Amino acid sequence: MNLKKFNIENKKIKNLIPQAITIAALISVIIYFATNAQINMGNRGIAFGFGFLNQEASFDITFSLIDYDGSYSYGRAFLVGLLNTILVSVIGIFFATIIGVVIGVSRLSENYLIAKVAEWYVEIFRNIPLILQIFFWYFAALRALPLPENAINFNDISYLTIKGWYVPKFIWTNFDIFFYSIMLAIISIYFINNYATKQREQLGKQLPTFTLSFLTLIIFPLITFLFFGVSLTFDYPFLKQLSPTVYTFDGGVSIIPELIALAVALSMYTATFIAENVRAGILGVSKGQKEAAASIGLNKNQILKLVVMPQALRIIIPPTTNQYLNLTKNSSLAAAIAYPDIVLVFAGTALMQTGRAIEIISITMLTYLTLSISISIFMNWYNKKMAIKEK
C-alpha cells in the first residue's frame, strides 16, 4: 500500500523535475539579460524608469478619440495611440470579414464570371506585399481626391477632399438616457430570443423573432426621443478660406485620409485570406449533409443556416482568428503613412523625444501581446460556442 503510493509520488516527482529545470533555466536567462541590460545602460549613463510617462509630451497628434494636445503626458499619448490602433483594427476586422465572406462564397458560385472575378481578387491582393498596398491606397487616393475648394459634395452634408472626409458631428443632449435605452433593448432582445426558443422546442411554434427584435431596437430609443428629452442636432462642415488659394473645412468631424487608406488596405488584404477560409469551410461540409437536409424537407436557406454554416464555422473560425491577429499586428505599418497609431506615436515620436528605447519598446510589445491575447480569448470562446455540443 505504502510502497505503491510512494511509487506514484516518485513518478510525479520524476515528471516534475524536468519541468522545474526548464522553468529555472528560463528565469535565469531572463535575469541574466535584465542584469546585463542594467549594467550596460549604467555604463553608458542611460537611466531606466517609467517616470517619463507622467512628463509632458509636448507634441501634438492629428487624430485622437480622446481629448489630447501636447500639454498632456506621454502616458496619455500612449493611450491615444492605443485607441487609434484599436480603432483601425476594429474597422479593418469588420470590413475584412464582410468582404472575405462575400468573396469566399462567390468563389464557389456556379456563375463562371463571379467565381473567376473572386478568384482573381484573391490572387492579386494576397500576393502583393501589404506595405505596397498601403502606399498605393494612400498616394493613389491622395492624387485622385480633389482639393477642399473642389470637394466631392454629398448633399451639402458631407464632403470628400484630399484633406479628409468631412462628416457632420453629432451633438447629443441626454446621450446617457439614449445609451441606456439601447442597452435595455439589447437585454430585451436576449429574453425575446430565449422565449422564442422555448416556444419552438416545447410547442413547435415559430415566432417572428427577427421582426420583434428589430422593432424593439427601434421603439426603445424612439421613446427616449419623444418623452425623455433626448435630442440630436448636427454640426455640419463648411468651407473656410485660409489664404487667397488655400481652403479647408471647419466644423463637423474629419476622417483623415490616412485612416481611410489604412483601413481599406488592411481589409482588402486580410479579406483574401478570410475568403479562402470561408471557401475551405463550406467545401469541408460533406455533400451527404446537404442531401440529408434536403431530404427532410428543408429549403435552400434553411440548409445553409441550419446545416451547412454551423459545421462550416467550426472549420472557418480557428484560421480566421489568425487573420484577425495578423490584421491587428499589421496595423503597425500605419507609421509609413502618418496614421498616428501606437507605433508612430509611442514607439516613434515618444521614443525619440525621451530616448527610452527599452522601456517604450517593452511597453509596446506588451500592448500588442495583450491585444492579441484578448482577440484569441474571445475567438476561442466563440469557437467553443460553435463547436458540436453532444447531447
Partner 1 sequence: MKSIKTWFLVGFASLLLVSCGQGGGGAGSKKSKTLDNTKKAGFVKCGVSQGLPGFSNADASGNWTGIDVDVCRAVAAAVLGDADKVKYTPLSAKERFTALTSGEIDVLARNTTWTLSRDADIGLTFVGVNFYDGQGFMVRKNSGINSVNDFKDGISACTNTGTTTELNMRDFFNSKNIKYEPIAFEKADEVVQAYDAGRCDTYTTDKSGLAAQRTKMSNPDEHKVLPETISKEPLGPVVRQGDSVWEDIVRWSLNTMIEAEEYGVNSSNASSLKDSDNPAIKRLVGAEGELGAAFGLDNEWSLRIIEQVGNYGESYKKHIADTGILPNRGPNELWTKGGILYVPPAR
**Binder of partner 1 out of 16, 131, 152, 306 (CB under 8 A):** 131
Q: How far apart are CA 269 and CA 134, in angstroms?
A: 10
Q: How far apart are CA 374 and CA 357, in angstroms?
A: 26
Measured over the CA atoms of residue 276, residue 280, residue 281 and residue 283, the dihedral's sign is: positive
* Pattern 81-120, partner 1, x by CB under 8 A: ----------------------------------------
Smallest distance, Å, CB 323 to partner 1? 19
The vertex-132 CA angle with 127 and 135, nearest 5°, equals 145
**Binder of partner 1 out of 184, 338, 379, 386 (CB under 8 A):** 338
**Binder of partner 1 out of 17, 147, 157, 232 (CB under 8 A):** 147
CB proximity list for 79: less than 8 A, separation 6 or greater: 66
Regarding 30 and contact with partner 1 (CB under 8 A), the answer is no
Regarding 341 and contact with partner 1 (CB under 8 A), the answer is no
Q: Which is nearer to partner 1, 3 or 144 (CB)?
A: 144
Ranges within 351-370 binding partner 1 (CB under 8 A): 351-358, 361
CB proximity list for 337: less than 8 A, separation 6 or greater: 134, 135, 138, 258, 261, 262
* Piece of 11-19, 90-98, 262-270, 331-339 that binds partner 1 (CB under 8 A): 331-339
DSSP-derived letter for residue 345 is: I
**Binder of partner 1 out of 4, 5, 14, 143 (CB under 8 A):** 143
Q: Which is nearer to partner 1, 58 or 173 (CB)?
A: 58
Regarding 245 and contact with partner 1 (CB under 8 A), the answer is yes
Regarding 279 and contact with partner 1 (CB under 8 A), the answer is no
Closest CA relative to residue 335, chosen from 321, 351, 323 = 351
For the chain, the distance separating the N- and C-terminal CA atoms, rounded to the nearest angstrom, is 40
Q: Which is nearer to partner 1, 52 or 273 (CB)?
A: 52
Distances (CA, A) of 3 to 6, 16, 133: 5, 20, 68
Smallest distance, Å, CB 64 to partner 1? 11
Q: Which is nearer to partner 1, 317 or 334 (CB)?
A: 334
- What is the size of the binding site for partner 1 (CB under 8 A)? 57
Smallest distance, Å, CB 86 to partner 1? 19
DSSP-derived letter for residue 149 is: G
* Piece of 16-24, 97-105, 235-243, 383-391 that binds partner 1 (CB under 8 A): 235-243
Residue 34: all three cell numbers together: 535584465
Residue 348: count other Cβ atoms within 10 Å of its Cβ: 18
Regarding 41 and contact with partner 1 (CB under 8 A), the answer is yes
CB proximity list for 323: less than 8 A, separation 6 or greater: 96, 100, 270, 273, 274, 277
Closest CA relative to residue 54, chosen from 260, 356, 379 = 356
**Binder of partner 1 out of 60, 193, 209, 290 (CB under 8 A):** 60
Regarding 160 and contact with partner 1 (CB under 8 A), the answer is no
Regarding 129 and contact with partner 1 (CB under 8 A), the answer is yes
CA dihedral 65, 69, 74, 79 (to 10 degrees): 0
Q: Which residues bind partner 1 (CB under 8 A)?
A: 33, 36-37, 39-41, 43-47, 58-62, 70, 129, 131, 139, 142-143, 147, 162-163, 240, 242-246, 248-250, 257-258, 332-333, 335-338, 340, 343-344, 347-349, 351-358, 361
